[in-house]
A and B are shown apart, each in its own frame.
Chain A
Amino acid sequence: MNKRPLAIIAIFFILGIILARSLPDSIRFPLIFISTLIFILTSFIFSKYHKISNILLLLSITSFASLLYINSHIYSNNHISHFLAEEKLKTSIAGVIKSPVLTRKPYYGKINSTYLFEIEGVKVNEEWLGLEGLAQIRLQTEKDYAYGDRLLVKGTVRRPRNDNYYREYLERQNIFALINTKENYVTLLEQGYKSNPVLKYTYLIRERLKARIIEKMPLEKGAFLRAILMGDRSELPKHIQASFKNSGTMHILAISGLHIGLIALLVMYLLRFLRMPRGLYYIFTILFLIFFIPFTLSRPSVMRAVLMACVFLVGRLLGRGVDVYNSLGIAAVFILIKNPKDLFNVGFQLSFLAVFSILFFVPKFMKLLERHTDQYIKKYFYMSLTVSIAAWLGTALLILYYFRIITPIAIISNLFIIPVLFILLIGSFAFLLLGWLPFAGSFLIGFNSLFAGIIFELADFFGSLRFGHFYLG
């Protein structure tokens, strides 16, 4: 029997989505629905014939994934996407804030904040039409709005422009409209409107911790901490982002397996230290990791890493070994069922390819180096090196395709930057927990500033090395 059923399901699921994207528009939902049903039924009917039944099962999975992808592109009659043209519409819009502040940056000398906004109604020809759909709202304000704030705004609403695939990028996140307005044209109608209490408090904690970092940490280093802890790099200066890009270490600004693994370890050790029974500390760690998904605004790389970690922890809890390819497969299928369009998200592709490449290449490289790994230090060094090479091999072509850059220096730079990042992450979590204490707080600010500074210097050094990176096209 095959040991990786979930990994195989994921592969055929992905194939189904790719197939659906290349199908002509004339292929409609009912047709795919009927073919999926036929594949499922015939797989049941031929269950005595293993080979035929298996093939039909794989076809059912592929067809089902196509169906989900097609379904994700069908919008109800009252969806905002049907009401917007290329030109902006000046009108009144009612809706609810659905996220904490996503970005806050100066725009033509004024501070602009963006939020995710669920549209409730739009005024067209003096009549309020009940519409639905998500928009990104940009408010010229420094004032904070919260998740669940129901607003009435007067401003402009339009479809996102199609420059550099920006519209496609937003539509993959189900965002179909851009609203622009100023503080004076916003009225708060209600607070906590139709809000999910878990999300409400998670976002509240996120905003409080963010405020603590902004208040206490130096500007650039605080922005870096917010990037590595919350996935918010909107205020990280462009020149620092460029050093990370050129040194091939941009991935550390996206929360991924490295962060999740560390958080899981820290929580587990803390709970063990508190003498909590084994079963309980596993469960608490899983719950904490699940809480971390909305905390970082449910990005695919975080979901992938949390799901994989949860599968691993459940396996340990039940005393069963977990195949890593299977857990990667579960994570992929789960994310793609939730939103099949995520397959074409760069973050999703990079995250899964990097992990797959590490799982595939590292054991092979380590086998080749078996004779040289007799000492712990040597083993650690070769392991880090092979992980770095494998991740680079897995993602280099994709990075070249999307960002027109190739960064061979990444193999070396990651060897230096990742261990420092590991120390900084420990310091950052300690700061979030203990930053309010007078003495410990000041110590942790100094500690984190020092290590963030070292990372900036290293990224700058590796990013400026000759032949370390090449821009193509």
Chain B
Amino acid sequence: MLVFSKSERYIILTFLVVGLFSAGLFYYGKISGFEVKTININESDSLIDINTASAQQLERLPGIGPVLAQDIVVYRQRTGLFKRIEELKHIKGIGDKKFEKIKDLIRISE
């Protein structure tokens, strides 16, 4: 039952040779290359700029609803642009706890 013809054998062996060397190259690539390198991800693109963000964008921040988002925009218009992110705590409704939640998600434009 377990008999291959000569031509079948040659075809299978050829496939095996190709497969074996491909697997070898793949293995070599995995053990020799792909060192851990540092990469550059521009995180500031992902942070919400509290000086330019609209109320809708500010609502994406945890704990900031439509009312508080509008308060931030109004504060910005009245007192000028934020110089430090901590200034957010001057707005009623943003205490230390809420600020801790959002401080890593915001930035101020330079």
The interface stretch among B39-47, B72-80, B92-100 is B39-47
| In contact, B36 and A78 (Cβ under 8 angstroms) | yes
Closest 6 CB pairs of A and B: A187-B46, A76-B34, A130-B39, A152-B46, A76-B30, A78-B36
| In contact, A64 and B46 (Cβ under 8 angstroms) | no
- Given A5-B4, A8-B2, are A64 and B24 neighbors across the interface (CB < 8 Å)? no
A contact residues around B1 at 8 Å (CB)? 2, 8
Q: Select one of A33, A47, A92, A182 contacting B9, CB under 8 A.
A: A47
When C-beta atoms are compared, the residue in chain A nearest to B102 turns out to be A184
| In contact, B60 and A184 (Cβ under 8 angstroms) | yes
6 residue pairs from A and B, CB less than 8 Å apart:
A1-B4, A71-B23, A75-B30, A77-B34, A78-B36, A131-B36
| In contact, B34 and A78 (Cβ under 8 angstroms) | yes
Cβ < 8 Å to B, chain A residues 30-66:
33, 36-37, 40, 43-44, 47, 50, 53-54, 57-58, 60-61, 64
B contact residues around A40 at 8 Å (CB)? 13, 16-17, 20
- Given A9-B12, A128-B39, A128-B40, are A2 and B4 neighbors across the interface (CB < 8 Å)? yes
- A150-B5 Cα distance, complex, nearest whole Å: 52
| In contact, A129 and B36 (Cβ under 8 angstroms) | yes
Dominant secondary structure at the B interface:
helix
- A8-B12 Cα distance, complex, nearest whole Å: 12
- Is A94's beta carbon under 8 Å from chain B? yes
| In contact, A78 and B41 (Cβ under 8 angstroms) | no
When C-beta atoms are compared, the residue in chain A nearest to B1 turns out to be A2
- Given A29-B27, A40-B13, A75-B30, are A2 and B38 neighbors across the interface (CB < 8 Å)? no
| In contact, B35 and A57 (Cβ under 8 angstroms) | no
- Is B31's beta carbon under 8 Å from chain A? yes
Question: 11 extra interchain contacts, Cβ-Cβ under 8 A, other than A33-B27, A185-B62?
Answer: A1-B4, A5-B4, A37-B20, A40-B16, A43-B9, A47-B6, A67-B20, A68-B23, A74-B30, A152-B43, A189-B46
When C-beta atoms are compared, the residue in chain A nearest to B12 turns out to be A57
- A250-B15 Cα distance, complex, nearest whole Å: 38
- A92-B44 Cα distance, complex, nearest whole Å: 12
Number of A-B residue pairs with CB-CB distance less than 8 Å in the complex they form: 119
| In contact, A130 and B38 (Cβ under 8 angstroms) | yes
- A51-B20 Cα distance, complex, nearest whole Å: 23
| In contact, A64 and B105 (Cβ under 8 angstroms) | no
| In contact, B105 and A184 (Cβ under 8 angstroms) | yes
| In contact, B20 and A121 (Cβ under 8 angstroms) | no
- Is A132's beta carbon under 8 Å from chain B? yes
Q: Least Cβ distance of A395 to chain B in Å?
A: 26
Q: Least Cβ distance of A407 to chain B in Å?
A: 35
| In contact, B37 and A130 (Cβ under 8 angstroms) | yes
The proximity string for B residues 49-60 relative to A, scoring 1 for CB distances below 8 Å and 0 otherwise, is 000000000001
When C-beta atoms are compared, the residue in chain A nearest to B17 turns out to be A40
- A74-B26 Cα distance, complex, nearest whole Å: 10
Q: What band does the interface of chain A fall in when counting residues whose beta carbon is under 8 Å from B?
A: 35 or more
| In contact, A121 and B39 (Cβ under 8 angstroms) | yes
Q: Select one of A44, A47, A79, A154 contacting B104, CB under 8 A.
A: A154
- Given A54-B2, A74-B30, are A36 and B9 neighbors across the interface (CB < 8 Å)? no
Q: Least Cβ distance of B62 to chain A in Å?
A: 5
| In contact, B61 and A184 (Cβ under 8 angstroms) | yes
A contact residues around B60 at 8 Å (CB)? 183-184
Q: Select one of B38, B41, B62 contacting A94, CB under 8 A.
A: B41
| In contact, A132 and B3 (Cβ under 8 angstroms) | no
B contact residues around A36 at 8 Å (CB)? 16, 20
B contact residues around A374 at 8 Å (CB)? none
- Is A127's beta carbon under 8 Å from chain B? yes
A contact residues around B5 at 8 Å (CB)? 1
B contact residues around A121 at 8 Å (CB)? 39, 41
Q: Select one of A44, A64, A132 contacting B20, CB under 8 A.
A: A64
| In contact, B39 and A129 (Cβ under 8 angstroms) | yes
A contact residues around B35 at 8 Å (CB)? 77-78
Q: Least Cβ distance of A125 to chain B in Å?
A: 11
B contact residues around A132 at 8 Å (CB)? 34
A contact residues around B66 at 8 Å (CB)? none
B contact residues around A71 at 8 Å (CB)? 23, 26-27
B contact residues around A8 at 8 Å (CB)? 1-2
- Given A75-B30, A182-B62, A187-B46, are A129 and B38 neighbors across the interface (CB < 8 Å)? yes
| In contact, B20 and A33 (Cβ under 8 angstroms) | yes
- A391-B43 Cα distance, complex, nearest whole Å: 55
- Given A78-B36, A78-B37, are A57 and B13 neighbors across the interface (CB < 8 Å)? yes
| In contact, B36 and A130 (Cβ under 8 angstroms) | yes
The proximity string for A residues 1-34 relative to B, scoring 1 for CB distances below 8 Å and 0 otherwise, is 1100100110000000000000000000100010
Q: Least Cβ distance of B42 to chain A in Å?
A: 8
